[in-house]
């Protein structure tokens, strides 16, 4: 973390996380309810790599600043009191499990059999195929699949939120603050998770959703 210095302050954090458990956050065992060990896998919602940064920079313009320090009251009203900042997230995706729809009467289904590692990398994966669907099969009727819980990972996120504000001194005790905030400033497409039911061949492995596009909002605050 860099403390406030020449109008700049920022904080950067990185975390590498690995967590295993046998208890889903929501619901109970998907496969054999009498075999908790079969539920052992990556913890729900746990992202492997996460980097975050928060930063603020007070522009050196206006009264008492390096640039246009003698701008006068009117000039300072226009160019002084500005600052910019933001929050950035770079993180890999969360884990997820595959499922299948049971066709045998009296059987509830669960996770499929994994006959190979279906993880794809780089340009081999995308919206039309996030994992190798041929690596997963429906197990024999009334048997449990061998695929471990949360064995695959969804797409990650790249988020740049930016804000700018201007403080205008109205009286000695009253300050007006004009704010502008841009969420997902570069309008980056953050893909959602892929369809995970291998019994639906038309959609399994495909991604049909994404996070919010760029959003802009403005506001006015009175500080006293």
Looking at residue 92, its pLDDT comes to 96
Looking at residue 63, its pLDDT comes to 66
Least confident of 3-7, 18-22, 115-119, 179-183: 3-7
Cα separation of 115 and 147, whole Å?
Answer: 9
pTM: predicted TM-score of the whole model, two decimal places: 0.82
Looking at residue 126, its pLDDT comes to 92
Looking at residue 1, its pLDDT comes to 54
Burial (CB count <10 Å: 0-12, 13-18, 19+), residue 188: middle
Q: Can you tell me whether residue 77 is helix, strand or coil?
A: helix
Rounded average pLDDT over 176-203: 95
> 216 phi and psi, to 5 degrees?
-125, 135
Looking at residue 108, its pLDDT comes to 83
Looking at residue 73, its pLDDT comes to 65
Spatial neighbors of 190 by CB under 8 A, at least 6 apart, are 155, 156, 157, 158, 159, 184, 210, 211
Residues forming beta bridges with residue 179, ordered by sequence position: 165, 219
Looking at residue 91, its pLDDT comes to 96
Looking at residue 86, its pLDDT comes to 95
Residue 72, pLDDT above cutoff 80? no
Cα separation of 207 and 204, whole Å?
Answer: 9
DSSP-derived pairing of the beta strands 49-58 and 82-91: antiparallel
3-state secondary structure 183-200: ECCCCCCCECCCCCECCC
Looking at residue 74, its pLDDT comes to 63
Structural domain total, the chain: 1
Cα separation of 181 and 142, whole Å?
Answer: 54
Q: pLDDT by residue (tens digit) across 120-140?
A: 998 889 999 999 999 999 999
Instruction: Determine the structural domain holding residue 66 and report its residue range.
Output: 2-223
Q: pLDDT by residue (tens digit) across 51-60?
A: 999 999 988 8
Q: How far is CA 46 from CA 42, 163, 196, in A?
A: 7, 28, 18
Closest CA to 81 of 148, 14, 161, 167: 167
Looking at residue 52, its pLDDT comes to 96
């Amino acid at each position: 973390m860099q403390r406030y210095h020449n109008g700049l302050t920022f904080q950067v954090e990185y975390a590498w996380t690995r967590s295993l458990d046998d208890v889903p956050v929501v619901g109970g065992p998907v496969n054999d309810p009498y075999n908790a060990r079969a539920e052992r896998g990556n913890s729900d919602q746990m992202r492997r790599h996460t980097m975050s940064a928060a930063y603020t920079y007070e522009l050196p313009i206006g009264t008492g600043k390096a640039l246009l320090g003698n701008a006068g009251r009117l000039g300072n009203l226009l160019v002084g009191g500005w600052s910019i900042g933001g929050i950035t997230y770079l993180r890999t995706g969360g884990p997820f499990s595959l499922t299948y729809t049971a066709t045998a009467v009296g059987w509830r289904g669960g996770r499929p059999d994994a006959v190979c590692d279906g993880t794809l990398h780089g340009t081999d994966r995308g919206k039309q195929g996030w994992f190798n669907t041929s690596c997963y099969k429906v197990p024999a009727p009334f048997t449990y699949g061998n695929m471990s819980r949360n064995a695959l990972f969804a797409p990650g996120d790249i988020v740049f939120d930016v804000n700018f504000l201007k403080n205008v001194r109205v009286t000695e005790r009253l300050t007006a603050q004009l704010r502008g905030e841009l969420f997902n400033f570069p309008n980056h497409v953050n893909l959602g998770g892929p369809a995970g039911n291998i019994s639906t061949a038309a959609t399994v492995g495909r991604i049909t959703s994404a996070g919010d596009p760029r959003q802009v909002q403005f506001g006015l605050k009175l500080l006293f």
